[in-house]
Structure 1
C-alpha cells in the first residue's frame, strides 16, 4: 500500500472545525489515532502507515491549521484545550470507545496532554520525538543547550515571521525547516511540492505558527535568568496507561535530555532510543519505528 491508497474524508467536528482525515487499514481492526506535528500533515505517516495498516485501523487527521483542515487565524484558536477538543471530537465522530494514540512533535504534545488529562478512551500512548511538557519546560530554564536549540520557537512567535518567510520564499523556508534534520536529497520532489503548495495557501503559515504562539511554554533568551513557571512547580498528574517513547537521538531541536526523568511521568513507561535517527523518525526510519510500535499498539 502506498500513500496514494489512503482513503480521505472531511469531517465537521463538534469542536467547530472541518478536519481532513486520512484512513488506512480494516474498519474492524483496533483503532489508532496518529497526530502529526509541525510543519506537516497526515503525510507524516506516508511511509509508516503501510507498515501498520494490516493490523490496525489508522485514523490520521490533518490537525487544525495544517494540510487540508480548517485554518482559523486567531491565536487563541490553538490553545491546548481547543486542540484537545478536536481530538476528542474526532474520536466521537468515529464512535470510538477506545483507541491507541500516537503523536509526533506537536502531535505528541497533544497526545501527552490528553493522557495527562486522563482521557478514558486512550488504551495506549506512543510518543515519537515529543517531550513531556513538564520536562520540556524545565529544560528551557535549566539546560543551556536545549534553550539554545529552542530559540526557533521565539522566532516563530515573532509577529513579523510571516513577512520574513515571504521575503525568503517558501522554497527556502522548506530547506531551512528540514535541512538540519534530514538529507534534503532524500525528500522526493513531489513531497516537497506538496508541502510548499499547502504552506502557500492564504493563512496557512500563520495557522501553523499559531501552535507556537498559543503555547504556554516559556523559552527565555540564551543567558537570561528565568524562574520555573507555576505549572512545573505544582507538577502534573501521572499517566496511568502504558507509554512507549520512540526517540531519534540525532534530533537537533529536541535533545536527548528530554528523556532524563521521563520514566517518572507515568506508571508504565518504555523508552526506545534510535541512534542515527533524527527528528522526523516516522519517515526517516519507518521500518524501525513500525517495529517499535506494532507490538506495543497491539498489546503483545
Structure 2
C-alpha cells in the first residue's frame, strides 16, 4: 500500500471506531432489557438444515475443488445447455437465487454458487484470502471445471462486484454480464467521498474494518442484524417473497464456524487491497444493470456512472424493489433478464 492509501485506510478505520461506539451502546441496551434472552440467543445453535435448502425443485447440490478452496453449488438444467452462473452478495448464499434457478433452467444450465467463505463452501482464514484477485480467480477456475469456456454471468451486491472485476479481467469467458444493485467498482469510492448521503449509507463498510465487534453484532439477538437487513422495514424485502422459513435458512447458513468472519473479510480485503487504476478496463460485452429503488445501502445516482466504462450498457430500474431485488421482485427481474438474453 502506498502512503496515500495508508492514510485513507486510517481515516476509514477511525470512522469504524466511531460507529463502534454506537453499536456497543445498542448491544449494552439490548443486554440490559433482557440479559438471559440476550445470552441465550447469542449461543443458540442450529444443527438441523431447514427443508427448503434440500428442495429438489431448486436443483442438485455438488462441489468443485479449485486450487485453494472447495466451492459448493446448486445446479439446475441440462448440462448440454449454455451456462448461467449466479454469484450472490452479502449477507447471502446460493439460496438467494432460488427464483432464478427455477426460471432459467429451461434454456440454461443454471449454477448458483456459495462464494468462498459462505455456506457449504470452503472457508480459508485470513483477510487476504478474500481479495478481489482470489474471488475472480475462483470464477476463472470454476467455469472450465463445470465443463464450459464461457457463461452468462449474473451477480448481485458483492457478487456483482466480483462479476464487474471478472468481466474486466476475463472478457473472453463472459457471454453477457448482468449486475443487480452493485455499482461499477471504478465509480463507487470517488462518489462516496463526494456524496454525504452515500457516505452515511456506507457506515457499515467502515464499521466492518474493526476486529471482533462486527461479528458480535452480527450474532447478537439471534442474528437481528441479518433479519433487519433482509426483511427490516427500513430497507429489507418489500414483498412477501422472503418467508419465515427462508429467514431461518439464512440464519442456519451463518450459524456455522467462520460463517460470519469470512464474509466480513470481503469488506476488510476491499479496503486493504483496493482496485488499481491499471485494472480498470472497458467492458465491451453486452451488459445490463437491474436496480431496485430505493436501496438502503446504495444511491440510485451511482447506476449511470457505469456508462463511462461500459459502452454497451442497458439499465433497468424497479422503483418499488429493495436492495434484495432478485428475491423481492423475481418476476420483474426475470422478465428483464429474458429480454436482455433474447435481444
Greater mean deviation of Cα atoms: 107-116 or 52-61: 52-61
Q: 1:94 to 1:165 in 2, by over 3 A?
A: closer
Return the alpha-carbon distance in structure 1 between the equivalents of residues 165 and 131 of structure 2.
Answer: 12
- Please list every run of 5 or more consecutive structure 2 residues that lacks an aligned counterpart in the other structure: 1-51
- 1:188-209 superposed Cα distances (whole Å, 9 cap, x missing partner): 2221111111211111100110
- 1:149-181 superposed Cα distances (whole Å, 9 cap, x missing partner): 111111122112113334x23331222322132
- 1:90-124 superposed Cα distances (whole Å, 9 cap, x missing partner): 10211212211000000000000011113311111
Return the alpha-carbon distance in structure 2 between the equivalents of residues 250 and 48 of structure 1.
Answer: 22
Instruction: Provide the residue aligned with 1:16 in structure 2.
Output: 68
**Which residue, out of 302, 311, 324, partners 1:258?**
302
Contact conserved, 1:137 with 1:217, CA < 8 A, in 2? no
Secondary structure of 1:72's aligned partner: coil
Greater mean deviation of Cα atoms: 120-129 or 23-32: 23-32
- Please list every run of 5 or more consecutive structure 1 residues that lacks an aligned counterpart in the other structure: 219-228
**Which residue, out of 46, 50, 53, partners 2:98?**
46
Return the alpha-carbon distance in structure 2 between the equivalents of residues 269 and 184 of structure 1.
Answer: 27
Give the TM-score taking structure 2 as reference length. Answer: 0.78
Return the alpha-carbon distance in structure 2 between the equivalents of residues 98 and 185 of structure 1.
Answer: 34
Where does 1:263-274 land on structure 2 (aligned, <5 Å)? 263-274=307-318
Return the alpha-carbon distance in structure 1 between the equivalents of residues 95 and 235 of structure 2.
Answer: 17
Give the TM-score taking structure 1 as reference length. Answer: 0.89
Return the alpha-carbon distance in structure 2 between the equivalents of residues 191 and 67 of structure 1.
Answer: 14
Q: 1:203 to 1:230 in 2, by over 3 A?
A: closer
- 1:210-252 superposed Cα distances (whole Å, 9 cap, x missing partner): 111100389xxxxxxxxxx9946x7821111110111112111
Return the alpha-carbon distance in structure 2 between the equivalents of residues 216 and 100 of structure 1.
Answer: 28
**Structure whose residues are more often helix by fraction:** 2
Where does 1:58-73 land on structure 2 (aligned, <5 Å)? 58-73=110-125
Contact conserved, 2:238 with 2:322, CA < 8 A, in 1? no
Where does 1:170-249 land on structure 2 (aligned, <5 Å)? 170-178=222-230, 179=232, 180-183=234-237, 186=240, 187-216=242-271, 231=276, 236-249=280-293
The number of residues matched between the two structures is 285
Root-mean-square deviation (CA, aligned residues, Å) is: 2.1
Q: 1:185 to 1:238 in 2, by over 3 A?
A: closer
Contact conserved, 1:48 with 1:287, CA < 8 A, in 2? no
Runs (4+) of structure 1 exceeding 4 A deviation are: 229-232
Return the alpha-carbon distance in structure 2 between the equivalents of residues 216 and 45 of structure 1.
Answer: 27
